[in-house]
């Protein structure tokens, strides 16, 4: 994976963290995306420590917010010359009726729309980096 760039949403814990760590272990440049600044920065630092790969950074975005997704995509396109792997793992279970800042039901906004919007906005960069891969991870509860 050396010379490859990977972007992992929901990368501050769980499956996203494991994927980010493994890509870093294999020598990829990795961007860990999360919504909590302290947790996301700590996850990226832990991956650097665990793998010895200094090419790990963290990016902040709440994927339930369409504005945040657009800002994240613009930042990635500006800062990243290539994108070989996009792993969408951001998601959550909501036990109450909640809405995003855009007025969309949180389960749909975060678990579906955010990944779709980010993938669409980064598709040209992925195509320019061919052969690139998009991996969408979800849970039965989503």
Instruction: State pLDDT tens for residues 67-112.
Output: 999 999 999 999 999 999 999 998 877 788 889 888 888 888 788 8
Residue 140 has pLDDT above 70, yes or no: no
Average pLDDT of 109-134? 94
Within a domain: 47:
yes
Within a domain: 142:
no
**Beta strand 29-34 pairing with 56-60:** parallel
CA atoms within 13 A on the CB side of 51: 24
50 in helix, strand or coil? helix
Q: What percentage of the chain carries pLDDT values higher than 70? A: 98
Contact between 33 and 90 (Cβ < 8 Å): yes
Average pLDDT of 32-45? 97
Within a domain: 78:
yes
Within a domain: 49:
yes
Residue 104, pLDDT score: 85
Residue 84: Cβ-neighbour burial (10 angstroms; 0-12, 13-18, 19+): buried
Within a domain: 21:
yes
Range of the domain at 18: 5-136
Q: Which pTM does this prediction carry?
A: 0.93
DSSP letter (8 states) at residue 80: -
CA atoms within 13 A on the CB side of 42: 6
Q: How many domains does the chain have?
A: 1
Residue 109, pLDDT score: 76
Residue 142 has pLDDT above 70, yes or no: no
CATH assignment at residue 57: 3.40.50.720
> By C-alpha distance, which of 71, 74, 116, 70 is closest to 91?
116
């Amino acid at each position: 994976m050396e010379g490859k760039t990977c972007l992992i949403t929901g990368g501050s814990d769980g499956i996203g963290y494991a994927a980010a760590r493994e890509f870093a272990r294999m020598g990829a440049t990795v961007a860990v995306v999360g919504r909590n600044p302290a947790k996301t920065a700590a996850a990226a630092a832990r991956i650097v420590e665990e793998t010895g790969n200094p090419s790990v950074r963290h990016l902040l975005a709440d994927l339930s917010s369409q504005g945040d997704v657009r800002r994240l995509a613009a930042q990635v396109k500006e800062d990243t010359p290539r994108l070989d792997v996009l792993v969408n793992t951001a998601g959550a279970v909501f036990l109450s009726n909640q809405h995003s800042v855009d007025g969309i039901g949180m389960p749909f906004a975060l678990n579906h729309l955010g990944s779709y919007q980010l993938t669409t906005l980064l598709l040209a960069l992925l195509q320019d980096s061919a052969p690139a891969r998009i991996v969408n991870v979800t849970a039965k509860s989503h």
